[in-house]
């Protein structure tokens, strides 16, 4: 029962993390130009929502908790990268651009902030996975 609850919590946390990473790629479509406080607030809110089930899953889990947290972070980063790549591909197709409302084509324009966020969360997940694996090998 504990294992099932921890897996459910990790899945929910991964979904929130994917949403947070996609929000990080959003730019002028969600916030006025230069309104970084609004953007950081939305990213922080989604990150806070992800930390609750991630923490509950780690508390309920038995075994290598940090490794499981790392797997969740790394998997969420991979899924968010694939989602963003698919959205970018759709936005670059000339025929698909006609289906979107005017002005929506420039929504995902905070590439630098989104990539930094994606690499930070994915890198932290990779580090946690490798750290626990290296400690277990010793």
Distance from C-alpha of 83 to C-alpha of 1, rounded to nearest angstrom: 32
Element (H, E) at 10: helix 2-25
Whether 44 and 105 have beta carbons less than 8 Å apart is answered as no
- What is the span of the domain harbouring residue 23? 2-137
* 12-39 pLDDT, tens digit each: 999 999 999 988 887 655 556 666 777 7
Q: Which whole number is the average pLDDT over 106-132?
A: 86
**Residue 79 — very low, low, confident or very high, per pLDDT cuts 50/70/90?**
very high
Query: In whole numbers, what is the pLDDT of the chain averaged over residues?
Result: 84
Lowest mean pLDDT among 20-29, 53-62, 94-103, 117-126: 94-103
Nearest Cα to Cα of residue 84 among 57, 58, 119: 119
Pair of tokens at residue 104: 């929506």
- 89 versus 128: the higher-pLDDT residue is 128
| 3-class secondary-structure state, position 47 | helix
Distance from C-alpha of 110 to C-alpha of 133, rounded to nearest angstrom: 34
**Chain centre distance of CA 55:** 16
Question: Residue 85 pLDDT > 70, yes or no?
Answer: yes
Distance from C-alpha of 38 to C-alpha of 40, rounded to nearest angstrom: 6
Residues composing the chain: 138
Question: Residue 89 pLDDT > 90, yes or no?
Answer: no
Whether 26 and 117 have beta carbons less than 8 Å apart is answered as no
pTM: 0.84
**Residue 2 — very low, low, confident or very high, per pLDDT cuts 50/70/90?**
confident
| 3-class secondary-structure state, position 103 | coil
**Number of domains composing the chain:** 1
């Amino acid at each position: 029962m504990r294992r099932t609850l921890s897996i459910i919590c990790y899945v929910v946390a991964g979904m929130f993390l994917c949403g947070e990473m996609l929000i990080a790629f959003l730019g002028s479509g969600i916030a006025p130009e230069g309104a970084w406080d609004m953007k950081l607030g939305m990213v922080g809110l989604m990150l806070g929502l992800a930390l609750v089930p991630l923490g509950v899953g780690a508390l309920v889990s038995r075994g290598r908790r940090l490794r499981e947290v790392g797997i969740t972070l790394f998997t969420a980063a991979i899924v968010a990268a694939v989602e963003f790549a698919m959205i970018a591909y759709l936005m670059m197709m000339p025929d698909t651009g006609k289906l979107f409302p005017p002005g929506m084509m420039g929504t995902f324009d905070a590439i630098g902030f989104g990539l930094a966020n994606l690499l930070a969360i994915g890198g932290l997940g990779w580090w946690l996975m490798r750290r626990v694996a290296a400690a277990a090998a010793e």
